[in-house]
A = this chain, B = another copy of it.
């Protein structure tokens, strides 16, 4: 593998001129440029990025901390992030943290080790020591699941409003007992969604019943378990609101196994609008999130941070949409 010296020798110029031709060609005479380019070609030269980065103190890498890659929602976020990163000449260092703080911290440290220029965290945990003063915090953006009152820029959804909208929708359909299957207890997402759920009930003059809330962890299985608890109640809910589509699909399986029909016997709603939501039977009423946009926005903001450009708004809120499909319908009269 050839190096810059080899190219310089071939072109009959100095290494500095080769470097300039590659980084800022406009500062080199066209004829010199051509000779250098010819030499680059001839030597099939590729700059050693390690050396470039080492010297210029920029890695072009962005760390992205993902709680669960296998979750289709996050897969879409990553996909959006990757596109934006690539467009901006950055690469994505992927880390499946499984929600473990030690792993998150370890990967975030890659920034300190000059292995990455910034961090995107998709979970509500600050991987940097709280003792670090805000001023010399490395570039980091917190997206999707956002730390309430955190010190980093965020990109989030108004989860309170989204959960409220869905609950209102179910109430408008005549439902009075609405079960809620929550996500992981550690996630502020679920706190916000619970608030939205409560707000809608209150607004409609309905009493909040703690028995109608059960805890899950965003997996298919959690939805199944949650639904089986709900269905076992003597006065069971007529509608079930799951905090993500995976759990809703898990719940659907359980409901069917009990010989009940959706939506005739019980209405069902999800959250996220994963591709599968439109393909299950019946198609799922859910909250659509712009997953790719989370990734794109996060990368854009992070790069601004890295370039020390001013950020127009530190807390971006992306829009949601209530997507009505067949899984939620008017409550049957008894």
Q: List the interface of chain A (C-beta within 8 A of B).
A: 1, 46-51, 53-54, 57, 59, 61, 69-72, 75-76, 78-79, 82-83, 86, 91-96, 103, 109-110, 112-115, 220, 249-250, 252-253, 256, 275-276, 278-281
- Decide: A94 and B94 in contact? CB cutoff 8 A: yes
- Decide: A48 and B113 in contact? CB cutoff 8 A: yes
Selected contact of A50 from candidates B50, B253, B275, B279, CB within 8 Å: B50
Kindly provide the distance from the CB of A250 to the nearest chain B CB, expressed in whole angstroms.
Answer: 6
A120 to B212, CA, bound (A): 48
- Decide: A92 and B94 in contact? CB cutoff 8 A: yes
Selected contact of A75 from candidates B47, B49, B72, B109, CB within 8 Å: B72
| Copies of this protein in the complex | 2
Closest 7 CB pairs of A and B: A94-B94, A49-B113, A50-B54, A49-B115, A54-B54, A50-B114, A70-B75
Q: Which residues of B contact A220 (CB under 8 A)?
A: 275-276, 278-279
A49 to B116, CA, bound (A): 10
Q: Which residues of B contact A70 (CB under 8 A)?
A: 72, 75-76, 79, 275
- Decide: B46 and A113 in contact? CB cutoff 8 A: yes
A51 to B75, CA, bound (A): 33
